[in-house]
Amino acid sequence: MRRAVVVGSATAAGVILLLSLKPHQGATSAAAPISSGGSGGADGSGGTSGTSSAPPAQASDTSGTRAITGDSVDTRYGPVQVKVTLAGKKITRIDVVKYPTESGRDRSINSYALPVLNQEAVAAQSAAIDVVSGATYTSDGYTRSLQSALDKAGS
Amino acid sequence: MTGVRRHAEHVMGTVFSFAVHGGGRELEDLLARIVVRLHRIDEVFSPYREDSDISRFGRGEIALDACDPEVAEVLARCREVAVQTDGFFTMRPGGVLDPSGWVKGWAVEEASRALREAGYERHCVSGGGDVQTAGGPWRVGVADPLRPGEVIAVVTGNDVAVATSGTAERGAHIVDPYRGRPAEGLASLTLVGERLAHVDAWTTAAFAMGPDRGLAWAAAQPGIEALAVLPTGATRWTPGFPARTDAARAVG
- On whether the CB atoms of residues B134 and B123 are closer than 8 A, the answer is yes
- On whether the CB atoms of residues B209 and B87 are closer than 8 A, the answer is no
> In the prediction, which pLDDT does A101 show?
59
- Give residue-wise pLDDT tens across range A66-101: 777 777 766 656 666 666 666 665 665 566 666 665
C-beta atoms of B138 and A146 within 8 A: no
Residue A45's pLDDT band (cuts 50, 70, 90): very low
Task: Kindly list the residues from chain B whose CB atom is less than 8 angstroms away from the CB atom of residue A86.
Answer: none
C-beta atoms of B234 and A139 within 8 A: no
- For A98-126, letters b (16+ CB in 10 Å) and e give bbbbeeeeeeeebbbbbbbbbbebbbbbb
> In the prediction, which pLDDT does B194 show?
97
Q: Is the pLDDT of residue A5 over 90?
A: no
Q: Is the pLDDT of residue B206 over 80?
A: yes
Q: Checking DSSP bridges between strand A4-6 and strand A35-37, what pairing results, if any?
A: unpaired
- Listed by number, the residues of chain A in 89-148 with a beta carbon closer than 8 Å to a beta carbon of chain B are 90-93, 110-113, 119, 122-123, 125-126, 128-139, 141-142, 144-148
> In the prediction, which pLDDT does A68 show?
74
SS3 state at A62: coil
C-beta atoms of B129 and A138 within 8 A: no
What mean pLDDT value characterizes chain B?
Answer: 94
Task: Kindly list the residues from chain B whose CB atom is less than 8 angstroms away from the CB atom of residue A17.
Answer: 152-154, 245, 247
Mean pLDDT on B194-223:
97
Long-range contacts of B175-183 (CB under 8 A, 24+ apart): B175/B93, B175/B94, B175/B208, B176/B88, B176/B208, B176/B209, B176/B210, B177/B87, B177/B88, B177/B90, B177/B93, B177/B208, B178/B87, B178/B88, B183/B207, B183/B208, B183/B209, B183/B210
C-beta atoms of A35 and B215 within 8 A: no
> In the prediction, which pLDDT does A152 show?
81
> In the prediction, which pLDDT does B137 show?
92
Give the closest residue to A56 by CA, choosing from A47, A67, A64: A67
Residue A155's pLDDT band (cuts 50, 70, 90): low
What are phi and psi for residue B203, nearest 5 degrees? -65, -45
Q: Is the pLDDT of residue A20 over 50?
A: no
Q: Checking DSSP bridges between strand B4-11 and strand A131-133, what pairing results, if any?
A: unpaired
- Give residue-wise pLDDT tens across range B137-172: 999 999 999 988 889 999 999 999 999 999 988 888
Nearest residue of A to residue B191, measured between CA atoms: A133
Task: Kindly list the residues from chain B whose CB atom is less than 8 angstroms away from the CB atom of residue A135.
Answer: 129, 143, 145, 164-170, 188
Q: What is the rounded radius of gyration, in angstroms, for the C-alpha atoms of chain A?
A: 18
> In the prediction, which pLDDT does A153 show?
73
Any A CB within 8 A of B114 CB: no
What ipTM was reported for this prediction?
Answer: 0.88
Most confident of A27-36, A121-130, B240-249: B240-249
Q: Is the pLDDT of residue B214 over 80?
A: yes
> In the prediction, which pLDDT does B161 show?
98
- Give residue-wise pLDDT tens across range B13-64: 999 999 999 999 999 999 999 999 999 999 999 999 999 999 999 999 999 9
Q: Is the pLDDT of residue B112 over 60?
A: yes
Task: Kindly list the residues from chain B whose CB atom is less than 8 angstroms away from the CB atom of residue A92.
Answer: 250-251
A148 vs B59 pLDDT, higher one: B59
> In the prediction, which pLDDT does A42 show?
35
> In the prediction, which pLDDT does A92 show?
59
B74 vs A37 pLDDT, higher one: B74
C-beta atoms of A135 and B155 within 8 A: no
Distance CA B154, CA A17 (A): 9
> In the prediction, which pLDDT does A115 show?
32
The alpha carbon of residue B66 is apart from the nearest alpha carbon of chain A, in Å, by 31
- Give residue-wise pLDDT tens across range B165-192: 999 888 888 889 988 889 989 999 999 9
Any B CB within 8 A of A39 CB: yes
Any B CB within 8 A of A78 CB: no
B207 vs A19 pLDDT, higher one: B207
Distance CA B225, CA B240 (A): 6
The alpha carbon of residue B231 is apart from the nearest alpha carbon of chain A, in Å, by 10
Nearest residue of B to residue A37, measured between CA atoms: B235
C-beta atoms of A135 and B149 within 8 A: no
Any A CB within 8 A of B247 CB: yes
Residue A22's pLDDT band (cuts 50, 70, 90): very low
C-beta atoms of A146 and B8 within 8 A: no
Residue A144's pLDDT band (cuts 50, 70, 90): confident
Q: Is the pLDDT of residue A126 over 70?
A: no
Q: Is the pLDDT of residue A110 over 50?
A: no
Give the largest CA-CA distance in chain A: 56
Any B CB within 8 A of A9 CB: yes
Cis peptide before B182 (omega within 30 of 0): no
Distance CA B47, CA B211 (A): 29
B89 vs B252 pLDDT, higher one: B89
C-beta atoms of B247 and A8 within 8 A: yes
- On whether the CB atoms of residues A84 and A68 are closer than 8 A, the answer is yes
